[in-house]
Amino acid sequence: MSTKVFHYGQDHLTAGIALSIARGEMVGVLTDATKEAINVSSEIVAQIAAEPAAVYGINTGFGPLCTTKISAEETGKLQENLLKSHAVGMGEPIRPILTKLMMVLKVQALAKGHSGVRLSTIEKILWFLDNGITPVVPSQGSVGASGDLAPLSHLFLPLIGEGNVLSCDGTVMSTSLMAEYKKDYAPIKLGPKEGLGLINGTQFIAAHAVLVVEKMQNLLANADITGAMMIEGLLGSVKPFSPELHELRPFPGNRHVAASISNLLKDSEILHSHANCARVQDPYSLRCIPQVHGASRTAWLHLKELLEIELNSVTDNPVIFTKDHTISGGNFHGQPLAMALDYATLAAAEIGNISDRRSYLALTGDTPGVPKLLIKDAGTNSGFMIPQYTAAAIASENKSLCFPASADSIPTSLGQEDHVSMGSISGRKALQVVENVEKILGIELFSAAQAMDFHAPLKSSKILSAVYRVVREKIEHLTEDRFLQPDMEVAHALISTATLPATAKQAAEENQEPYATEWSAQFDNF
């Protein structure tokens, strides 16, 4: 089976395609037309560098040194000094998938042919990707304007023989030692504007956004499943998910969630057993799942749509059009993604907040047949009391991370860069919160399965029965207190690996039951 090919600079890049290239599932190539556009742009820069007229970053200094003229002989040294002086990141290195994404996204931007970076330099970036060699990039240091300067400098130091790399076997080494086992590696000399073209851009922010889009989509699908399981376990009502209700307030996210929950609960014996009970309405954490989960889906969709624009944009400065037409603008400013990432952070945290409320609700003993703390012999046993503490602690931690990084700005570069986005912090926080919520949903998952057990021999819906079996294959019913942390780790893994949505989809197909909705393509694809 042939590997799918992506054409940098010409094809439309999405978060999913970027991840596929970074993971080696697709190959990114440069077409002849793209190479020609790159060559034209780099030739224009070479001409500008040889002439006396000042053009920022080509024959001038940077930032507050923009009025300092640089001679034609020094333009190459200027660019190498730029990478060295700006590689000032601190903190733990970002994970390798993020570093690979940064390279993929940078090549896509440079391949548009408006940055003046030479073809040979872009091909050297592709060499690192193709050989599985990942530069070591610290997580802190970008203010998210003038590009992600520090992280991108670390990313591209290995091009000039500096910095550290992570080899395909996981070994961290100095780039200078890499030539000993990679005979086809040789550092390059940067030409005019190349250093600036490499480090001006939003690829650190955007790489985090790509991973957030993937993980949050999985999070939202799992939240609908765990929520549906908890509705069954706590004998909730299906009426709040009726389509006629949501036609009166037709937000697509709400309607999608309501339809998804209805599909997940279709023909459940457990729910049909109390169809005529005296309970008038459920607590909000059950009844308002479409409104809360739906709003978070809308936030996810907003981020996905803005990210796709960014992935196919030129975020360099200055931008090269012709020899006589270059623009020093602000396409490097990270505000468009910073604000969307902050919005997504809040949306993800709310999924965790309502999930924790459902886990708490399961402990109250107010559901017929379901004992307090989800264990029959409560008192001697604490049952599920303390896992909810963990969910509460993580939910509270997320709330502290919800302050929008994009609301802050600290002037840099002696005031030349007097408003910055802090989007790199937005991206890091969004990813942290999403991964925290995976843990909260894991706690709800194994709590909901425990609640469902008490309704035997009544059966769940066909779809949720399949999901329930996957859980019970890995986590036993709790009859007396045991060491629960391993169970919580297993539940977390079931959430984070997208096992449950895949199980639900397969069960729906096998039983010819509905699972998708008319909005599924919009909310499930990226």
- The catalytic residues are 56
Contact 348, 434 (CB under 8 A): yes
**3-class secondary structure, 30:** coil
d(CA 104, CA 19): 9
Contact 349, 404 (CB under 8 A): no
Amino acid residing at 360? Y
Contact 487, 272 (CB under 8 A): no
Taking Cα atoms as reference points, which of 135, 130, 297, 158 lies closest to residue 207?
Answer: 135
| 67, two tokens | 């009025």
Maximum C-alpha span of the chain: 86
Taking Cα atoms as reference points, which of 512, 405, 448, 437 lies closest to residue 217?
Answer: 437
**3-class secondary structure, 356:** helix
Contact 438, 216 (CB under 8 A): no
Cis check: omega of the bond before 514, within 30 degrees of 0 = no
Say what angle helices 385-400 and 335-361 make with each other, to 10 degrees: 160
| 231, two tokens | 């509705």
- DSSP-assigned beta bridge partners for residue 164: 174
> Half-sphere exposure of 346 toward its Cβ, with a 13 Å CA cutoff?
14
> Half-sphere exposure of 456 toward its Cβ, with a 13 Å CA cutoff?
8
d(CA 269, CA 48): 75
Residue 321: how many CB atoms within 10 A of its CB? 13
| 166, two tokens | 């992570």
d(CA 514, CA 256): 13
d(CA 114, CA 109): 9
Handedness of CA 17, 22, 25, 28 (dihedral sign): positive
Contacts of 482 (CB under 8 A, 6+ apart): none
DSSP H/E element including 77: helix 75-86
Residue 24: how many CB atoms within 10 A of its CB? 12
